[in-house]
Structure 1
Amino acid sequence: MSKSPSTLADLLLQLSEPITEFLLNTPYTPPEGANISVKAILESLLPSKTTTPNSPNHSSIKDFALACALLSSSSFKPLTHDYSDLLSWIPNHVSRLASSTFFELSKAYLTVFDDRNATKIGELGLKCDLIPQEKRLMLELMPEVLSILKERIKESSIDKSNEGDEFSAASTRAPVGFAVVAAYQFRWFITQVDYPHLGKLCGLVIPCALTAVDHWSPEVKGQGMISFTHLGRNMDTAEFGCYKDVILDACCQNIASSDEIWPHVIEASVVLVTRTQRSNPRSPWFEKMLNDMFSHLERQPRNKERRIVWLESADSLFNGVGLVLLAHFRRIFPLFFEWMHADDDDTLLLVLKRTYTVLRLTWIRNSPIIERLVRELVLVYKEAALRKAREEIRADVRQLLILLQETKGLQFKDAWDKYRLDPDLTTLGAPLCVMATRNLETTTSEHDQDGPMVLRAQ
């Protein structure tokens, strides 16, 4: 049954009532130092009986969408301690209510303004019949909403063209809390759109995301990085167009970020560089990103959280670079050798798996590193006796040594002979002895001729 503008206005008020009631009945004190009131922002965005006309105007619907985006964002865990209380006072059920309420309004909106909505969505290069009804209103609002949010984030950004513009001056122009709120709203809008629709909006989305990651606040940066990760996973490479270099440069600029947003910077960087440079392992962006990451890890090699995050993401990066990893051995293996003796099992297991990836991709050709690697793996095998994950660690070490034996033949034999009679390595040496019965010289010759592409993962 078709609705009229007046019934749509009534529905807008009806849908907002539970949220308005929640705000009225919830005590609220702005977090210390926040210098903004999230509750006041929400109240200003919600419709009321005294301000909503019989026919809902575009502004009231847009404001309601921004309110729902902010409430829905409360389910996102704040990235830094500074803003841990900014949205935490909003319970999860209200966050879920805001999302479902907005999607319900979207369906009702189409019964009145379907033609207008189809035109607006068509102007974005999208096809209405491929988009769920609950997402169509949001897409119509996207150009205007993103423009508003981008400007709100910029208000407290540092003007890099002005050498005297510092954090304090930027915050004087507008409290940074407004930028944080806008970044959360932006993230919610972006993560509601997925493949294949998101690529059509890149001209709207990417400038706003770049504005967020260029902000001085880690919280704003973090929301921008999470948004970029979503873009990387939901857009075709060609859709990034001329933005590729700008985005990758922004990622590199933020690698030396705070601990709290490091996971999001690494995730976004790896997703974007592997997606946009996948056919070019010699891309200068792979080179720069790896070197920037190594530089940062070398400064803090004992930072457990940072190394684990990086090791978890590095597999995709290594596979994207392939044989070119040989050029990075002088930086990879000193870190790996140190981490092989870290106190925590998580680091050790991850570094063993990443070492396997490196060996599988490169065969460590013409490298003097084999003797050192065998020595470190033998030590790891012995030390595993005192570790909780000793069986998994020893299985990974065994797998690595077998791979070395298969690919390096006599060179491995020379390195292993120093340890083969060690009584503590009896169980480790058994599978290597079985492998040694093969014609190692023939195997080595075949591998040297065929190259690393012949090798299959164990």
Structure 2
Amino acid sequence: MPRTAAAAAAALPRDALLRIAAPLRDSLAAAPYEPPAGSSASVKSLLASLLPSPTQPQPLEGKEAADLLLFCAAVLAASPEYPALHWVPADLTGAAAAAVEEMAAAGPWSSVGEMVVAMVPEVVPPLKDVVKESCVDADNDEIGAVKPPKEHAAVAAHQFRWLVSQLSYPKLGDFCWLVIPCALTTLDHWSPEVKEQGMVSFMHIAKNVKVTELSLYEDAILDACCQNIPADDELWHHVVEVSVMLLTCTQRSNPRSPWYDRMLSEMLGHLERQPLNKGRRISWLTLVGPVFDAMGLFLLAHFRRLFSLFFQWMHTDDDKTVLLTLEQIHAIIKLTWIRKSPYTSRLVDELVLLYKESATRSSREVMRNHIMEILVLLQKCKGQQFEEAWKKHELDPDLTMLLSSFNQLCIKNGS
């Protein structure tokens, strides 16, 4: 334990800690709680063990302050959405918020953030150890070894995420050596709840440190993101969001980086295995744009897989998927001008078919506007190839309105 961190925790008098903890103990005791089904672990008891008690002998210097901060971190990280801490009542959350303010005031700090900065070197390493101990490690697991309950790892991940959220730019950059290894450990865990907290932590880290401060860890971070792409449905949105953010943050100046190819290939492979999964495709189409922007012409290497999915999604029964697909097709054409692509003729045919299908859609007008914009862009960038693909539709009686609007738009753009 760094001496400065221990000294910071020791700066809080024990009588102040006991006074601050008293209402927390009462509120926790009154909170209704049932252990998770199939588990004998009690998260409520775990939290109670973090509160200082006058009946206990005084522990190591500074430990009571660190434990009290961890108690508050767990309670303040609670949410009805999180299984391990869904039971935490609002009055206990309010008491914990007041407690951290009192702790900062009782110590030599001007704010809660300053107190966390001082104490984070002491409180983060034990959290990493708790998570790591319950990870599945096929190479090192001893036969018959007893692992901590998964609920303990979940609580530690929530505590870690809350502590990281209290650190911002530029101070967070000074603790990359401490928080990134812990965040990577959470991503390596088998529990979705633990993984999710690691992903949320990484998103905060990426927004609050310099790219140069991530450089030592970027390969490990991006590899962890790739490993988590086949995650459960409830994590997919977070996986794509954190992967896109960290990939473009660390590799933006180098579209030739092999990480772009690997990450996009991993995502496409997963989408190909579940092309009908509405939630996954909508999340991906919503979030992947920055990767396309960063890759530019290098997207050509992925056209076969991209357009195979796009041609399926253009005709799904939900308008949101169709609109997002059209937006990404338009973006890719602008970025690449679909050079030397065999997909121009097929794309024209699919757009015309979608135009006809859109007659019964609630988003008909928006959809048709997107189709028109893509057709005009294709005419500009593909010239003769587009004209040849377009000719077979010029006499279609069902496309009178499309042909008229398209010709008018072409005349307008030409003038």
User: Do Structure 1 and Structure 2 share a fold, with TM-score over 0.5?
Assistant: yes
Q: 1:7 to 1:225 in 2, by over 3 A?
A: closer
Contact residue 135 and residue 190 of structure 2 kept, 8 A: yes
Instruction: Give the Cα separation in 2 of the matches to 1:214 and 1:294.
Output: 22
Which residue, 31, 34, 59 being the options, matches 2:36?
Answer: 31
Equivalent position of 2:77 in the other structure: 73
Instruction: Give the Cα separation in 1 of the matches to 2:52 and 2:142.
Output: 38
The reply to whether residue 151 of structure 1 matches residue 155 of structure 2 is no
Instruction: Give the Cα separation in 2 of the matches to 1:36 and 1:206.
Output: 28
**Runs of 4+ off more than 6 Å:** none
Q: 1:27 to 1:285 in 2, by over 3 A?
A: same
Contact residue 106 and residue 133 of structure 1 kept, 8 A: yes
The reply to whether residue 45 of structure 1 matches residue 50 of structure 2 is yes
Contact residue 32 and residue 87 of structure 2 kept, 8 A: no
Q: In the TM superposition, what is the alpha-carbon distance from 1:165 to its structure 2 partner?
A: 6.2
Q: How far does the alpha carbon of each residue in 1:67-98 deviate from its partner, in whole angstroms, 9 at most, with x for none? A: 001101112732xxxxx3x2111123432432
The reply to whether residue 334 of structure 1 matches residue 338 of structure 2 is no
Contact residue 124 and residue 178 of structure 2 kept, 8 A: yes
Instruction: Give the Cα separation in 2 of the matches to 1:263 and 1:348.
Output: 18
Q: 1:439 to 1:19 in 2, by over 3 A?
A: closer
SS, match of residue 157 in structure 1: coil
Q: In the TM superposition, what is the alpha-carbon distance from 1:173 to its structure 2 partner?
A: 2.2
Instruction: Give the Cα separation in 2 of the matches to 1:411 and 1:165.
Output: 64
Aligned AA (2:93):
S
Which residue, 374, 379, 401 being the options, matches 2:348?
Answer: 374
Instruction: Give the Cα separation in 2 of the matches to 1:380 and 1:303.
Output: 20
Equivalent position of 2:217 in the other structure: 243
Equivalent position of 1:94 in the other structure: 92
Which residue, 49, 64, 68 being the options, matches 1:64?
Answer: 68
Equivalent position of 1:186 in the other structure: 160
* Aligned 1:20-419 pairs, distance under 5 A: 20-51=25-56, 57-75=61-79, 77-78=81-82, 84=83, 86-110=84-108, 133-162=111-140, 172-419=146-393
SS, match of residue 432 in structure 1: helix
Contact residue 52 and residue 64 of structure 2 kept, 8 A: yes
Equivalent position of 2:6 in the other structure: none
Question: Which deviates the most, 363-372 or 391-400?
Answer: 391-400
Aligned AA (1:46):
L
Instruction: Give the Cα separation in 2 of the matches to 1:165 and 1:13.
Output: 40
Contact residue 229 and residue 236 of structure 2 kept, 8 A: yes
Q: 1:97 to 1:394 in 2, by over 3 A?
A: farther
Q: In the TM superposition, what is the alpha-carbon distance from 1:196 to its structure 2 partner?
A: 1.8
Instruction: Give the Cα separation in 1 of the matches to 2:16 and 2:283.
Output: 46
Aligned AA (2:153):
A
Structure 2 alignment gaps of length 5 or more: 1-9
Q: In the TM superposition, what is the alpha-carbon distance from 1:424 to its structure 2 partner?
A: 2.8
Contact residue 192 and residue 235 of structure 2 kept, 8 A: yes
Instruction: Give the Cα separation in 1 of the matches to 2:205 and 2:138.
Output: 26
Q: In the TM superposition, what is the alpha-carbon distance from 1:397 to its structure 2 partner?
A: 1.1
Q: In the TM superposition, what is the alpha-carbon distance from 1:268 to its structure 2 partner?
A: 1.0
The reply to whether residue 16 of structure 1 matches residue 21 of structure 2 is yes
Aligned AA (1:385):
A
Q: 1:397 to 1:92 in 2, by over 3 A?
A: farther
* TM-score (norm: length of structure 1): 0.83
Instruction: Give the Cα separation in 1 of the matches to 2:373 and 2:158.
Output: 45
Question: Which deviates the most, 33-42 or 422-431?
Answer: 422-431
* Aligned 1:416-435 pairs, distance under 5 A: 416-435=390-409
Corresponding pairs, count: 406
Aligned AA (1:403):
L
Aligned AA (2:169):
Y
Instruction: Give the Cα separation in 1 of the matches to 2:174 and 2:196.
Output: 24
* TM-score (norm: length of structure 2): 0.91
Contact residue 213 and residue 224 of structure 1 kept, 8 A: yes
Aligned AA (2:350):
E
Q: 1:276 to 1:193 in 2, by over 3 A?
A: same
Instruction: Give the Cα separation in 1 of the matches to 2:159 and 2:13.
Output: 24
Aligned AA (1:34):
S
Equivalent position of 1:120 in the other structure: none
Instruction: Give the Cα separation in 1 of the matches to 2:413 and 2:272.
Output: 41
Alignment RMSD: 2.4
Q: How far does the alpha carbon of each residue in 1:241-294 deviate from its partner, in whole angstroms, 9 at most, with x for none? A: 221111111111111111121111111111100000000011100000011111
Instruction: Give the Cα separation in 2 of the matches to 1:236 and 1:395.
Output: 40
Contact residue 71 and residue 95 of structure 1 kept, 8 A: yes
Contact residue 46 and residue 64 of structure 1 kept, 8 A: yes
Instruction: Give the Cα separation in 2 of the matches to 1:21 and 1:91.
Output: 12
Q: 1:439 to 1:208 in 2, by over 3 A?
A: closer
Q: 1:160 to 1:392 in 2, by over 3 A?
A: same
Q: 1:396 to 1:6 in 2, by over 3 A?
A: closer
